[in-house]
Amino acid sequence: MTLTDVVPLSGKRPLTVRMATPRGFCAGVDRAIQIVERALEKFGAPVYVRHEIVHNKHVVERLKAMGAVFVKELDECPDDRPVVFSAHGVPKSVPATARAREMLFLDATCPLVSKVHVEAERHHANGRHIILIGHAGHPEVVGTLGQLPPGSISLVETVEDAEVFQRPGDAPLAYATQTTLSMDDTAEILATLKRRFPELPDPHKEDICYATTNRQEAVKRLGEGCDLVLVVGSKNSSNSVRLVEVALKAGAGAAELVDDASHVDWSWFEGVRTLGITAGASAPERLISELVEAVSARFDATVIEDDGARETVTFKLPRVLTA
């Protein structure tokens, strides 16, 4: 018999719980949620929000309860109520339509997504055709594609896409990426593109955002020594889905995405001695705490905070909300 086989006086099986650092909300998500909250305080309900402000159902439901109304397009919004654009960014046609209708709109686009938009415009102004590495249909990709005239950007999703991409005519090339991609997968796609088109310039700064990078690095450390990794986040959250993939690639015995503690299948814990917990950038800390409580109620849990990057980034709110 080993020490790990000994059942403590509590009658619960021992379990080591490693908490990834950093995890949960990033600065862009925090800013976007604050914009909706401050708009409700300043202008009263309802405040309309085009698309989910961030991809987390708990955040969306809480804001709905406060008076936010989530819509797919501007034609669902009245002219006389504020509308907030989601953190993922929007095509240029959206604010143009809002201005034409003389609407009060607040842009909650993450500043790091806006940086990609600016880079894309700069490349276009310099006559380059842009390769965008990202996932078709994701709101951030739709927003980036919508910054430039049709045909200015080609979307590449996989290494296979990169192998068959054809340069339009003799146009010089540039590339940009969705900010929430897997760093490793993106590196493979980019390596393929650079092999085929060695002249591809690097962006001024990496497009994959600091928060995505930090959370993926943190989950890699978890994956190296955990039998199971639980990622708190919604299924439509790109960065949360990537964390599951990264954990598995790093060596985790298993990895699962859960909206909250109620979605945990406790049969996953059979044979698990070390559990890793992290959360996507749009998942509130409350959900993480509730998951730890649920685990601790069933196991003799020893909770350990992993070392990781300490994030101090903050983004300013629109002036109309702070004046």
Q: Residues 81, 82, 85, CA angle at the centre, nearest 5°? A: 140
**Contact by Cβ (8 Å): 119, 207:** yes
Helix axes of 210-223 and 238-249: crossing angle, nearest 10 degrees: 30
DSSP 262: G
Q: From CA 75, how far away is CA 7, in angstroms rounded?
A: 61
Residues with catalytic annotation?
140
Tell me the CA distances in angstroms from 157 to 121, 141, 187, 193, one per residue in order: 21, 11, 12, 12
Q: From CA 202, how far away is CA 233, in angstroms rounded?
A: 31
Q: Using DSSP bridges, classify how beta strands 129-133 and 153-156 pair: parallel, antiparallel or unpaired.
A: parallel
**3-state DSSP call for residue 250?**
coil
Specify which residues 176 forms β-bridges with. Answer: 132
